[in-house]
């Protein structure tokens, strides 16, 4: 038995040793395999692009391809002599600016060293030391701007202004620093002058590059084939955005519900401040529409597209461009052509954005259906009011306006005294509503002037308004049956300058001593000058304007004043024209309707702040 067990144990040991030797290579191979597997597992995983990223990358690659295919040689040849011209105007006008500014920097350095030890305050000393450090770097060649020595950045300009202000302030108590301050100021002015000239040169170059590339994109280079490509890219992106409509609507609804629940929770916890804040957020969330989301998505997705667009370096119209041209650098042409390519690519992106936004935003905006309904209701109300007014225009009630009632008295007074009537319409152009209202009033006034056999003088601020005023006065005399009494020489252009007009009109009033002065239209700071001249001349004055800032002056200096909308109502009051009366009455009905809605909404929201249905009904977000 022992012998059998010994044989079995020996056999097992042999088998074990054999197994170890036989499987060693496999074990080694397995070990390598595991190592390779492990290295694969722990290596940085390749990022899987989403459908959106794939689409944006595809569009970006197409944009890059179009930009790379564009030959900039023609535009380079056009722009190069213009750029050289801008630079020559700056660098070759007299002496070399770099030499001049270097000399001025040395002068500043000397003046600062002497000024520092002349009893200045610690604040000024610190500013001077900072300035001295910058000057030393400039003179040592460690400069930020390689194209112009002593170029002043915006922070440096602010620092120089602070130094100058402090020197002036401290010079009052320390006469010893005044001379140094004058020296510094003189040199600083030189640096400032060349800095401004240099920056203007860069602005001119950039403007010229922009003008040429914009022209290429929008007029010359956008042919039918390229437009089709841009529209195709936009359609791809637009289809993607519109394809997510259900997701966007769900997000909008979720945001509204989440905000509402948070608001209710804050109310249950009696957190009034948080509740009000969440209530406002809830109202804002309710105002969000699918079109708002679309607009946001257009901007966001174009940002993703731009992430995949590479421009192979940083190129800009700046110091490096100027430096390369000054030094006759052989890389200038490549550098400038890259600027043109980048600018073209940017303009191309802007053109594509228009197609993309139009493709996404086009269509019927359902959230503005209320506007369509209200528009139809407005037209129905307008025609109803117009037909009613047309039938009963003589009996339509209009609130009495004392200032206009006084016009008959004022015109009669002018007739009795044998003095003229001065009429002006202010500074407004022919499209200004106040000027239009003034012209309608002028026609009625001219009719009364003709009936009373008086004289009217109209000095004009605007030559176009002058032509209209002449027609209005002529029509007024014709309506009265005395067209031959109209004197065209009494309508004349004065001057198209605010205070020159005020001075001229005041002079006319002072010389003519009119019995009546009428001021209707748009006025600014000259209102008091004009009305005070009329008061000094002893004229009856009636004025009217919508400008709230000028009303106090007219009310003080004039006998009667039309306040705000009374100016617009005056034409209807005087003429009784059916169309003008309709506009007036329609305005009154509109105020009544919206005022009623305002009162009802206020009551409902006071009872329950969640009853926002009238607000939602009127919303056009």
Per-residue pLDDT, 28: 31
Q: Could you read off the pLDDT of 489-540 as tens digits, one per residue?
A: 899 999 999 999 999 999 999 999 999 999 999 999 899 999 999 999 999 9
Q: Could you read off the pLDDT of 8-29 as tens digits, one per residue?
A: 444 443 333 433 333 333 333 3
CA distance 219 to 351: 12
Per-residue pLDDT, 467: 93
pLDDT over 50 at 612, yes or no: yes
Q: How many residues does the chain have?
A: 621
The residues pairing with 518 across neighbouring beta strands, listed in sequence order, are 423, 542
Q: Could you read off the pLDDT of 371-409 as tens digits, one per residue?
A: 888 888 888 888 888 888 888 777 777 777 887 778 888
pLDDT over 80 at 219, yes or no: no
Question: What domains, with CATH codes, occur in the chain?
Answer: 73-220 (no CATH), 367-394+580-621 (no CATH), 402-575 (3.40.50.720)
The share of the chain scoring above pLDDT 90, in percent, equals: 19
Nearest to 191 by CA among 163, 222, 219: 163
Per-residue pLDDT, 522: 93
Q: Compute the average pLDDT of residues 140-159.
A: 82
DSSP 520: E
Nearest to 522 by CA among 439, 608, 401, 616: 439
DSSP count for the chain of H helices, then E strands: 23, 6
Residue ranges with strand state E in 321-366:
none
pLDDT over 60 at 7, yes or no: no
Q: Which of 91-105, 435-449, 534-548 shows the lowest mean pLDDT across its residues?
A: 91-105
pLDDT over 70 at 4, yes or no: no
- 226 pLDDT band, cuts 50/70/90, is confident
Q: Compute the average pLDDT of residues 434-460.
A: 91
CA distance 437 to 544: 10
Read off the pTM: 0.56
Q: Report whether 452 contacts 446 (CB < 8 A).
A: no
Tokens of 334: 């490549």
| Residue 517, phi then psi, degrees to nearest 5 | -130, 125
Q: Compute the average pLDDT of residues 91-104.
A: 79
CA distance 156 to 152: 6
More confident residue, 580 or 274: 274
Highest-confidence segment of 77-91, 398-412, 452-466: 452-466
pLDDT over 60 at 1, yes or no: no
Sheet containing strand 421-426, strands side by side: 491-493, 456-460, 421-426, 516-522, 540-545, 560-563
Q: Report whether 407 contacts 518 (CB < 8 A).
A: yes
Q: For all residues of the chain together, what is the average pLDDT?
A: 81
Per-residue pLDDT, 108: 84
């Amino acid at each position: 038995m022992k012998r059998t067990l010994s044989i079995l144990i020996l056999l097992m040991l042999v088998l074990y040793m054999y197994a170890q030797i036989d499987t060693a290579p496999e074990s080694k191979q397995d070990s390598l395999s595991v190592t390779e597997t492990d290295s694969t597992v722990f290596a940085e995983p390749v990022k899987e692009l989403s459908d959106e990223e794939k689409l944006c990358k595809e569009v970006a690659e197409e944009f890059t391809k179009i930009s790379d295919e564009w030959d900039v040689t023609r535009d380079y040849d056009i722009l190069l002599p213009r750029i050289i011209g801008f630079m020559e105007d700056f660098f070759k006008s007299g002496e070399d600016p770099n030499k001049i500014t270097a000399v001025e920097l040395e002068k500043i350095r000397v003046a600062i060293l002497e000024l520092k030890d002349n009893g200045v305050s610690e604040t000024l000393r610190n500013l001077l030391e900072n300035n001295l450090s910058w000057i030393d770097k400039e003179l040592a060649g460690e400069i930020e701007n390689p194209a112009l020595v002593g170029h002043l950045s915006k922070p440096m300009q602010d620092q120089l202004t602070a130094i100058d202000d402090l020197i002036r302030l401290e010079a009052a108590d320390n006469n010893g620093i005044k001379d140094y301050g004058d020296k510094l100021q003189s040199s600083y002015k030189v640096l400032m002058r060349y800095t401004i000239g240099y920056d203007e040169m860069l602005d001119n170059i950039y403007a010229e590059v922009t003008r040429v590339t914009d022209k290429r994109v929008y007029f010359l280079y956008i042919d039918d084939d390229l437009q089709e490509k841009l529209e195709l890219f936009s359609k791809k992106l637009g289809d993607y955005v519109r394809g997510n409509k259900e997701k966007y609507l769900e997000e909008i609804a979720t945001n509204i519900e989440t905000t509402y629940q948070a608001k209710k929770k804050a109310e249950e916890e009696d957190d009034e401040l948080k509740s009000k804040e969440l209530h406002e957020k809830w109202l804002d969330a309710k105002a969000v529409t699918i079109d708002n989301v679309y607009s946001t998505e257009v901007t966001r997705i174009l940002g993703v597209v731009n992430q995949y667009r590479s421009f192979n370096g940083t190129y800009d119209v700046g110091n490096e461009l100027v430096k390369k041209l000054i030094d006759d650098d052989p890389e200038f042409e490549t550098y400038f052509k890259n600027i043109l390519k980048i600018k073209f690519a940017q303009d191309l992106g802007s053109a594509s954005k228009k197609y993309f936004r139009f493709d996404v935003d086009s269509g019927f905006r359902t959230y503005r259906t209320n506007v369509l309904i209200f528009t139809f209701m407005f037209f129905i109300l307008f025609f109803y009011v117009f037909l009613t007014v047309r039938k009963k225009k003589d009996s339509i009630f209009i609130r009495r306006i004392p200032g206009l009632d006084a016009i008959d008295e004022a015109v009669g007074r002018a007739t009795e005294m044998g003095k003229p009537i001065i009429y002006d319409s202010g500074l407004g152009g022919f499209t200004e509503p106040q000027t239009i209202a003034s012209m309608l009033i002028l026609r009625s006034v001219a009719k009364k002037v003709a009936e009373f056999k008086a004289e009217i003088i109209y000095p004009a601020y605007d030559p176009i308004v002058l032509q209209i005023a002449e027609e209005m006065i002529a029509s007024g005399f014709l309506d009265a049956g005395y067209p031959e009494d109209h004197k065209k020489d009494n309508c004349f252009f004065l001057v198209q300058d605010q205070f020159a007009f005020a001075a001229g009109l005041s002079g006319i009033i002072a010389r003519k001593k009119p019995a009546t002065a009428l001021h209707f239209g748009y006025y600014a700071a000259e209102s008091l000058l004009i009305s005070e001249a009329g008061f000094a001349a002893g004229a009856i004055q009636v004025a009217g304007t919508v400008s709230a800032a000028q009303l106090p002056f007219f009310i003080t200096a004039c006998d009667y004043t039309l306040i705000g909308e009374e100016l617009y109502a005056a034409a209807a009051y005087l003429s009784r024209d059916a169309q003008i009366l309709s506009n007036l009455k329609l305005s009154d009905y509109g105020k009544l309707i919206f005022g009623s809605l305002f009162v009802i909404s206020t009551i409902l929201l006071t009872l329950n702040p969640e009853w926002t249905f009238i607000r939602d009904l009127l919303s056009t977000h």
